[in-house]
Structure 1
Amino acid sequence: MKTKQLFWGVLFLTLGVAYLLVEVMYVHLAIGGFYHYWPLSLILIGLAVLSNNNYAKLTFSGLSGLVVALVIFSFFSKSWLPWNNWDDKIHKFSTSEQFVEPFDNKVKMVNATFKIGAGSIEISGNDSNLVKVKSGGMKDLFSVDTDKQDNNFDFDISMENVHLNLNEDNHRRLEVGFNNKPNYTFNFEFGAADVNMDLSSL
């Protein structure tokens, strides 16, 4: 295998895997500042050029492709880039996963918005966390968008997508619990959802 082939192969492979992990599987990769290490790619490329050993050339070429890919991915995933701002502070999850916002006694007002089309939804006000969300049933992709400023906490939850699996329980369930200490404003946009709310403690 030629060094150029290995370099480009590793580069594209790493970019593809990193994108799938972050955007499809929602795995958090803590490489936000890795682009600062871009000179490392030049060092590895230089070592590959200077090396007389074929195995060493291939090794340095592969490593340089890996580093270049991580530098590119790290740079283009920065939150200050305009195309990344819309997705800031959004947590996406599917069946049997949870979103938890720990309790913060500085938060005095919670503004909650629900945009759910269908399914069974239970909302209560007796959770020890500030907000806790648990989904179940059909693998709907829910999106939780949060924003905390001063004493206010904005919480928006919406149903984004549906993936039907005939081998699973297809009854959609969503459980949301709020802490009873802050004050609340609610905005509900429910479709054909079966909603059970007990907010008497809020």
Structure 2
Amino acid sequence: MTISRSTLREVPPGLEDLYVELAAPPRLVAHLRLVHDVAVQLLTGFAERWPELAVDAEAVRFGAATHDLGKVRHPEELSTPGSLHEPAGERLLVELGYPPSAARFAGSHGSWTRPGISTEELLVSLADKVWKNSRITGLEDLVGARITAATGQQPWEVFLHLDDLLGATGAGADRRLAHQAAHPLAG
């Protein structure tokens, strides 16, 4: 089954217009939509399995749909590794009038071990990895610890359920990667 824009969950209101306003490259927009879609899948799974975990779902959705916007200022990072887009994206969103609490996702999605990181920021980071079926033990451990603290469940039990959810979500990575690659780097 191929992915089309109509099969992806819609990004938060106003963000499609923002992508156009910033002349975001098609591959970047495809990536933001895909990570947003995975974030919504994770939010649904978390709400069903761990309703005690307090999460601002709207913040996660916004963060997932904007986390890499700094790549409009550092387009070289669309095809090569780099982290210059992280602080640039956070600054860009603040310059555009978004509150720092919303812009923070652009700056933190690659540095989930920094002090004071929120559960919402961890979930955006997780979605940004799981969309391509990348599993990062340290990140998953941090998320698992938040779930354990909120639910009182045993860490091993949380691990088993989190592993199942991430494995099922990551299983669609080949289709997502092909979808993203079908979009040009420049637009």
**TM-score tier (shorter):** under 0.3
TM-score where L is the length of structure 2: 0.21
Q: Which has a greater percent of strand?
A: 1
Structure number with bigger Rg: 1
**Higher relative contact order (Cα pairs below 8 Å, separated by 6+ residues):** 2
TM-score where L is the length of structure 1: 0.19
Q: Which has a greater percent of helix?
A: 2
